[in-house]
Amino acid sequence: MGFTTQMIWAGMIMSAVLVIFTLGKSPLFRVDRAGAAIIGSVAMIGAGVLTFEEAGQAVEFRTIVILFSMMVVVANLKLAGFFDLLGNLIVDRVHSRRQLLAATIAVSGIASAVAINDIVCLLFTPVVLLICERTRCNPAPHLLGVAMASNIGSAATLLGNPQNILVGGLSGLSFLDYFSAAAPVAVLGLTCTYLALAWFYRRELAVAWTDQQPVIAAVHPYLVRKSLLTLAAILLAYIAGVELAMASAVGAAFLLITRRVNPNKVYTSIDFNLLIVFIGLFVIVAGVEKSRLMDHILQLLSFGGFSRLSVFAVVTTIVSNIVSNVPAVLLLKFFIPATQPELWWKALALFSTLAGNLTITGSIANLIVVEIARRQHVEISARDYFVVGFPLTIVTTAIGVFWLKLFN
């Protein structure tokens, strides 16, 4: 059986969108990532791969609500002067560019193990940009540190990212069982992240550190307390079992009830382009899934299942970078062997997450960091990401394969 018309259209549309996402813009037209997401979504409908109703159903509105709500929280923290305060705190405690890189990786990695990595990137990227601006550091290694460490750190638990949450629900793995297998890989991965970035950016990081005077910023203590307490309440509610979309939406609504903050200032700080990118990706990936393109490719390769963990790791990495992490889990769950299923579920969660560091489009967390940086006129190119991400992914994946084989 050959490729169907739907498969061909879905493959062409996905390929074109990935090129623009990788480059950051179209090589022929003035189209950015948000524009590519819109055009790709419309093309999926126009080509008959999806109906309009199916496109609407493909959008995971819970994710959109979470992102929008957390952007409201971040906007309030920014208006309150919290990021200036946090920047002062970090700058006061680091005395070299390498220490700043280590702090960035540690904070991103640890935070992403207990909170969804996308949210960590949403909160922490503005802080890193502010610190780099004040200390006149090249922001590239530190922004890459946020993205890569958030991916690796989130691999440590079943709460760190959407695909691991999905694996937890599908597999029935216990939190501690998975944590004991994945946490050592994450710790070693974060160490490798620091070493890789410290090597590739050794010249920039070797520049002498100049102690900076704290920035005297307009801080609004009441709004800082209100915003931080709201953020803490959202995370505690989520840990307690409340759906994250509901918890974050209630928190955002609470912050919008105010007599002190101009709502327009909050809305101006919201990255609507990023929300458009998410919506478009949901539709485009749904088109690829419906066309069964990836299933057909695996069948053509006479792929019937897995017997070697290393092969599974490679396939998971490739598929995750083609269709994204969550769809990769939904596709590859059908190939979990009946023998030692717990081992293979752990591997699926671990490798689909580590795969996010391979390319700039490998995870949503990467795109969040890149898009926030772009709004501050800081460009992170696909090449900047790949030269570090490619070897890092190979090393961390190899560590994961070795560790799972050794202790399972």
Q: pLDDT tens, 248-297?
A: 899 999 999 887 788 888 888 787 887 888 788 889 888 988 888 877 76
121 and 150 in contact (C-beta within 8 Å)? yes
Assign 393 a pLDDT band (cuts: 50, 70, 90): very high
Number of domains composing the chain: 1
**Strand, helix or coil at 25?**
strand
Cα-Cα-Cα-Cα dihedral sign, residues 188, 194, 198, 201: positive
Query: What is the span of the domain harbouring residue 354?
Result: 5-407
Assign 336 a pLDDT band (cuts: 50, 70, 90): confident
Residue in the block written with tokens 């990467």: 366
Mean pLDDT of the 30-39 span: 88
Mean pLDDT of the 46-65 span: 89
Mean pLDDT of the 110-124 span: 84
Helices (H), 240-292: 244-256, 263-268, 272-291
Instruction: State the first-to-last Cα distance of the chain, in angstroms, to the nearest integer.
Output: 39
Assign 298 a pLDDT band (cuts: 50, 70, 90): low
Q: What is the pLDDT of residue 26?
A: 75
Of 58, 65, 76, 59, the closest CA to residue 244 belongs to: 65
Rounded Cα distance, 20 and 31, in Å: 8
Q: What is the pLDDT of residue 357?
A: 95
Question: What is the DSSP code (8-state) at residue 241?
Answer: T
Assign 198 a pLDDT band (cuts: 50, 70, 90): very high
